[in-house]
Structure 1
Amino acid sequence: MEYILLIILGFFAGTIGSLVGLGGGIIIVPALLFLSAGSSLFTGINPQVAVGTSLIVIIFTGLSSTLTYMKKKMTDYKSGLIFFIGSGPGSIIGAYVNKEFNLASFSLWFGIFMIFVSIVLFLKDKIKPLNQSSSGIARTYTDEKGQVHTYSFQPVIGILIAFAVGFFGGLFGIGGGSLMVPAMIIFFVFPPHVAVATSMLIIFLSSITSSVTHIIFGNINWLYALALIPGAWYGGKAGALLNMRLESKTVVNLLRLVLILVGARLIYQGLL
């Protein structure tokens, strides 16, 4: 019974994660902790195991959705690889720091982090983008309607932001997309669909590096991971296909809603 629930959970997390560029960890981690606390079917799940198992699953969600986005030429590979220079080391450090959390403190800080990101997204139209630089990396993207979008960023600033993103991704087992997508949209004016697609590439690469640290620490429940992966793989494809059918504003609004709901639930759990 528990493995059927995990397959369904994996599909749901993969779909939501790929749709808004989060990787699915914000669904998997709190769900595993909730199931462990509320059901005798799930045992031995602490914050470290929930995060480590989530990151293993996110590797497959990231790969699945990235392959789907690649076919539509929505992924900015050059920017993604530059950001990974920062997010890779950051994810390893975050995974190492994760071992200091207990369940209550993890839930509380994870929830606060989610709410913070959602607030930043609400304020994004009032924040001046940091893309006005002749010496930065300029990129263009032509959407399906033929509209040309131009965006740019300073590599050093991008790498520093990506380092912070990778740190929180390894710390909370979320792949970092919850911060990378708004960062790309707010600071560098990435088109939302390109931000989501590129975020999934970064999530795929960063999850591999941070997973190695968790494997070394023994923070993986391999049976649960194997049950989650098939659903996450197909969910990643489904979310990517759904993303392509939605307006950019809808994608951002969905991202806000997911972050607020999960954040509020985690804060409540942490305070209890």
Structure 2
Amino acid sequence: MSFDAPTTLSGLLVGIVVGLTGVGGGALMTPILVLFFGIAPQTAVGTDLLVAAITKVFGTAVHHRHGSVDWQVVGRLARGSLPAAALTLAWMQWSGSHRVSDGLIVNGVAVALIATALGMLFKQRLHQAGRAHRIARPEAFRRLQRWLTSVAGALLGVLVTLTSIGAGALGTVMMVHLYPLRLTPHKLVGTDLAHAIPLALIAGLGHLFIGNVDTTLLVNLLLGSIPGVLLGSLLGTRAPMKLVQGAISLVLVAVGLKMLLH
């Protein structure tokens, strides 16, 4: 096992972004591994999932100490996402889809990136729509809230298991609509990080069993991502969130288009 400085630096930069915003783990790391380091797409997805699971433990610990994790919402999401991830892994193993062509995986990641970027760009409008519904029809909204949260979790479980993308950006987009009054911007980040841990862990271990994890790559990424997410989480309370997320959205669109052309 050898130290690789460029890989570790990539883990550091992505870790900082994840700690700041809760976004960017799979959405940034998987394309970087595929486009810049030439890692096979299925290996990039599997390895990144385990990196995310371990890294986000440290980010969540920081947010928990600051009281910015809503554990009830985490539980509601997990009730949908964890069974969905397990079923998706079982389907991949049974159908042999883990041996699917690299081109199909790359295209799937690219589409997920663009969908993630669009979700982030329209996040404020979704928040306003959710707030209006919550205020106008509070009882009906609360009755649907718990069920829709688990449905949102199930969608994330499938998407994250297949592409390693979605737990951060799409998760926060769904939550700003479903919890427009309850989750502040920083609590949104902390809650999303906490939910991503069991989801990424189950999906990552499934990919490890299938054979889609490079352990040397995993260690090098963790050497950068763990200090990165700690630094990002500490800076998160001071960062201009709208500006940071707007910049990430533009990057994701550019990377998604490049992967489609790739």
TM-score (norm 2): 0.85
Matched residue SS, 1:134 = helix
2:45 aligned with 1:69, yes or no? no
For the residues of structure 2 that align with 1:221 and 1:14, how far apart are their CA atoms?
19
- Distance of 2:257 and 2:105 partners within structure 1: 9
* Counterpart check, 1:78 vs 2:95: no
Aligned position for 1:26: 27
Q: Percent of counterpart pairs with the same letter?
A: 20
The SS at the match of 1:105 is: helix
Q: Which residue of 1 aligns with 2:221?
A: 228
Equivalent position SS for 2:69: coil
1:197 paired to 2:190: yes
Per mean C-alpha deviation after superposition, the further-off stretch among 70-79 and 102-111 is 102-111
Q: Contact 2:120 / 2:170 at 8 angstroms: preserved in 1?
A: no
Is the CA contact 1:111–1:264 (under 8 Å) kept in the aligned structure 2? Answer: no
Residues 15 and 55 in structure 2, CA contact (< 8 A), matched pair in contact too: yes
2:178 aligned to which of 174, 177, 187: 187
User: Which residue number corresponds to residue 54 of structure 2?
Assistant: 60
The one-character-per-residue Cα deviations of 1:32-79 (angstroms, maximum 9, x if unpaired) are 112343xxxxxxx31111011001111122101000001100110111
Partner in structure 2 of residue 133 of structure 1: 138
Query: What is the aligned partner in structure 2 of residue 51 from structure 1?
Result: 45
* Residue in structure 2 matched with residue 113 of structure 1 by the alignment: 112
Matched AA of 1:154: Q
**Structure 1 residue 23: Cα displacement:** 5.7
CA distance in 2, matches of 1:65, 1:52: 20
Letter in 2 for 1:52: G
- Residues 1:241 and 2:234 are matched in the alignment: yes
Letter in 1 for 2:25: G
| Equivalent residue number for residue 176 of structure 1 | 167
On the 8 A contact 2:74/2:192 being kept in 1, the answer is yes
Asked if 2 retains the 8 angstrom alpha-carbon contact of 1:105 and 1:270, the reply is no
Question: What is aligned with 2:251?
Answer: 261
Cα–Cα, structure 1 residues 60 and 153, in superposed 2: closer, same or farther, change >3 Å?
farther
Q: How does 1:142-161 map to 2 (within 5 A)?
A: 154-161=145-152
Q: Provide the alpha-carbon RMSD of the alignment.
A: 2.3
Query: Which residue of structure 1 aligns with residue 202 of structure 2?
Result: 209
**Contact 1:47 1:106 survives alignment (8 Å):** yes
* Displacement of 1:113: 2.2
Moved over 6 A (4+): none
Does the 8 A contact of 2:47 with 2:213 survive in 1? Answer: yes
Distance 2:103 2:261 in 1: 7
Q: Which residue of 2 aligns with 1:10?
A: 11
Shift of 1:2: 6.4
* Number of matched pairs: 248
Measured after TM superposition, the shift of residue 240 of structure 1 is 0.8
- Provide closer, same or farther for how the CA distance between residues 126 and 231 of structure 1 changes in structure 2, counting only shifts above 3 A: closer
SS at match of 1:33: helix
* Distance across 2 between alignment mates of 1:57 and 1:6: 12
**Deviation readout 1:187-218 (Å, 9 max, x if unpaired):** 32132211111000011111111112101101
For residue 32 of structure 2, what is the amino acid of its counterpart? Answer: A
Q: Please say which of residues 184-193 and 126-135 is displaced more in the overlay.
A: 126-135
> Higher helix share goes to which structure?
2
Alpha-carbon distance change, 162 to 187 in structure 1, aligned in 2, over 3 angstroms:
same
Distance 1:4 1:124, change over 3 A: closer
- Does the C-alpha gap of structure 1 residues 28 and 119 become closer, same or farther in structure 2, counting only changes over 3 Å? closer
After TM superposition, give the deviation of residue 85 of structure 1 in Å: 0.9
